[in-house]
Amino acid sequence: MFRLSLPAATERLALRPFTPDDLDDLHAYQSLPDVARHLFRPPLTRDQCARSLTRRAAGTAWAEDGDDLVVAVCETGGTTVVGEIVLRLASARARQAEIGWVFHPAYAGRGYATEAARATASLAFAELNVHRLFARLDVLNTGSVRVCERLGMRREAHFVENDLDGERWADEYVYATLAREWKTEPVRRDPLP
């Protein structure tokens, strides 16, 4: 069984576990239709966010297929959660993990998703013994396409009309990278404010 060492820090961001105090911040972006549309699900209610937060704050082990780790992302020196990075263990035997990110649109265009995803990916390879890290995303989510490309992930697949997003058939890209291809960057262990 592996665990992710948190808190951690990048140049501009603090990565930490979610706490029960994060409900307002989590609901602020998870309830937005523009955020949910790229996640192939409806926006979350406050009650759904509260249930999700209870699970997130409890944490999970990293041992069986489907286990996930969700990392809260805050600006350095702040406590407001501006987004999250999710690592899901897709195959324990093959050491395959999926990475995803969701950020409040008010913080878009600052490179936060790339910075937080890069740090979390480095931790996944170094601490969780991941062999292959992949991301699945709606092809219309051009921001996430750019994040994958900035991370140096290769586009491995384009699935055509493989998911129904309300009334719209949606295409999906799969991007991936291997541990041996990843340029791990050191992640700081600064204490949180």
Q: Check residue 153 and give its pLDDT.
A: 97
Residue 153 DSSP one-character state? P
Of the CA atoms within 13 Å of residue 24, those in its CB half-sphere come to: 3
d(CA 22, CA 27): 9
Which superfamily is assigned to 8-133 in CATH? Gcn5-related N-acetyltransferase (GNAT) (3.40.630.30)
The model's pLDDT over 2-35, given as tens digits with 9 standing for 90+, comes to 667 888 899 999 999 999 999 999 999 999 999 9
Q: What is the pLDDT of residues 58-110, one digit of tens each?
A: 776 788 999 999 999 999 999 999 999 999 999 999 999 999 999 999 999 99
The residue behind tokens 């996944």 is 124
Question: Where do the structural domains in the chain lie, given as residue ranges?
Answer: 8-133
Torsion of CA 111, 149, 85, 99, to 10 degrees: 180
Look up residue 38 and give its two tokens.
């790229």
CA-to-CA distance for 163 and 150, rounded, in angstroms? Answer: 26
